[in-house]
Amino acid sequence: MKPIDMIATDINCEDLGLSRLCLMENAGKSLSDEVAKLSTYTFSKPVKIAIFTGSGGNGGDGFVAARHLLNRGFEIEIFMLSPLENIKSADARKNIEILMNLTPRFSRLEINYIDSIEDLEKISIAKSTSFSEHIILDGILGTGIKGKLKKKVKKVIEIINESNALKISIDVPSGMNPENGVIEDVAIKPDYTLTFHNIKSGIKKADEELIGGIITSDIGIPIEAQIFLGKGDLLRLKKRDSYSHKGKNGKILIVGGNEDYTGAPSIAALSSISTGTDIVYIATPETASLAIKSYSPDFIVKPLKGDYLNPNNLDDILTIVEEVDAVLLGPGSGLNKETGTLFNILASKIKKPIVIDADGLKLIDLSLIKDREDIIITPHLFEFKSFFSKIISEKSLKTEFEDIDLKFDNLSHEKLMDKLAIFQKIVKDIKGTVILKGKNDLIFKGNKLRVNKTGNQGMTVGGTGDSLAGIAVSLLSQDLSSFDAGGLSTYLNGRAGDLAMEKYGNGFRASQLSEFLGYLMKGN
């Protein structure tokens, strides 16, 4: 599991009502169980445990473990590398405050703060000759490590590494990149790494001698927290460089519209810009262009010859494709045969990430896009069936597929898995991401699945699908993978719908979703 998946899952637990404080308690408790076991296994008598803690949640796990280990009769010495006021994790702060409240101290607990490198003298444990009869718990840095190690942290890691104590790293050896297992400077060299929920990808990749034995502990995170999209998935968005200039954070092109449909590309464009892309181009027939331009001064509209999109527009469109990072094909294009010819040429010529929506889905030949990972298609059930029905040859699957619906809520586990398996058999024929829109949106890519539960019945109003496609292409232009962009776009679109519902009831319009999207992008 990548650290970002773990962090997103933790935050998504909150959407289910499971607090991070509770997860930290579970982590610290399972840590104390494992430490107690390892202690019995390694030493013949009770030993002292030194816990080194940083400013994040990793240290918080250490504080919780300290409380449980005290109850098991261990003598605990905590070495905080960050003072209380600099502890960033609110849950970690709560847990060290509990320990600090234990005065006068009946338990065998000592809390030290290492302010400067000179203070390292305090680490008596590091000098002790009976060092081998200690356990060191490393709660300095976990999945939140960023950049180069601070001087003091580096020195402490070096001191710990020199010791003969039994060293146990919490979640990740401090100093190691939890994503790729690389150690840029120094890292704790533990005898054991005790990781939570799932092994982090960096630990899988790192040499065994750098991580010691791996113990994975369950901390009560339900599988649904990993599958359901939530606020945590917003962390997948790249941080913006404050020196970045116009266009650096995404440029997109929407190819759509015709003389009758001007709303669909406009709504898609509004939602694109509201979810962070810098520049939105819309290539549309000239008969639609004026209406689209008048929707917003934020769009760059390229009028194309004709009342509907056709192959003569190809060169003009490809010129704009050169400029952008991702393309949306389909909203409001209509089903003219010549539009279909154009879309099929575009689908094979454009080598940048593409979202295919609405009429685009009806016009584009599946074989042209099936081997591309960077494609998102966004069908509702009816479109899904007509898009994929051509490729099903197995007779029994064909019958099951024809009858399938999107009612999932009250199914037993077995029936749910059987139903999902039918969808999965079908979508695995394309390498890109499929967003199957419904009460619960299903996002598939190969064997991977996410489920989005945001949104409401008010979203049956025309244009909400265009908004979703606009968000998806915007996120693709900001470097998200098709699977991450697909998932997050359903979450954002549905949440915007929920906020619109709160404000306007069933009477909200799809063009109003953009009003809420910017607010959600702030992490609300």
Annotated binding site for (6S)-NADPHX: 57-61, 142-148, 171, 264, 332, 380, 466
CA distances from 187 to 51, 154, 181, 182 (A): 16, 8, 10, 10
- Least Å from the CB of residue 115 to ligand NAX: 15
Helical residues (DSSP H) of 358-463, grouped into ranges: 359-363, 366-369, 381-388, 395-403, 413-427
Residue 135's binding partner out of ligand NAX, K ion, none, with CB under 5 to 8 Å set by partner kind: none
**Residues ≥6 apart with Cβ < 8 Å to 336:** 258, 308, 309, 310
What's the full length of the chain, in residues? 524
Residue nearest to K ion (CB): 174
Give yes or no for a cis peptide into 104 (omega within 30° of 0): yes
Binding mask 64-103 for ligand NAX (x = CB under 6 A): ------------------------xx--------------
Query: How does 51-66 read in b/e, with b if 16+ C-beta sit within 10 Å?
Result: bbbbbbbbbbbbbbbb
- Among the listed ranges 135-143, 382-390, 410-418, 435-443, the one in contact with K ion (CB under 5 A) is 135-143
Interaction partner, residue 138 (ligand NAX, K ion, none; CB < 5-8 Å by kind): K ion
Pick what 146 binds: ligand NAX, K ion, none; C-beta below 5 to 8 Å, kind-dependent.
ligand NAX
Pick the binder of ligand NAX from 1, 15, 20, 199 (CB under 6 A).
20
For 409, half-sphere exposure in the C-beta direction (CA atoms, 13 angstrom radius) is 5
Strand pairing class (441-445; 448-452): antiparallel
Residues 37-76 that bind K ion (CB under 5 A): 58
Any idea which residue has 């699908």 for tokens? 465
Among 169, 249, 289, 452, binds K ion (CB under 5 A): 169
Q: Which of 32, 51, 52, 56 binds ligand NAX (CB under 6 A)?
A: 56
Binding to ligand NAX, residues 148-167 (CB under 6 A): 148-150, 153
Amino acid at 378: T
Provide, rounded to whole angstroms, the least separation between the CB of residue 200 and ligand NAX.
8
CB nearer K ion, residue 81 or residue 255: 81
What is the distance between the alpha carbons of residues 497 and 456, in angstroms, rounded to a whole number?
A: 7
| Smallest distance from ligand NAX to CB 24, Å | 4
Q: Which of 96, 170, 211, 279 binds ligand NAX (CB under 6 A)?
A: 170
Phi, psi of 449 (to 5 degrees): -140, 135
Distance CA 63, CA 350 (A): 53
Residues 212-231 that bind ligand NAX (CB under 6 A): 219
CA dihedral in degrees (190, 196, 198, 203; nearest 10)? -20
- Report the interface residues with ligand NAX, using CB under 6 A: 10, 20, 23-24, 27, 54-58, 60-61, 88-89, 141-150, 153, 170-172, 196, 219
- Report the interface residues with K ion, using CB under 5 A: 58, 138, 169-170, 174
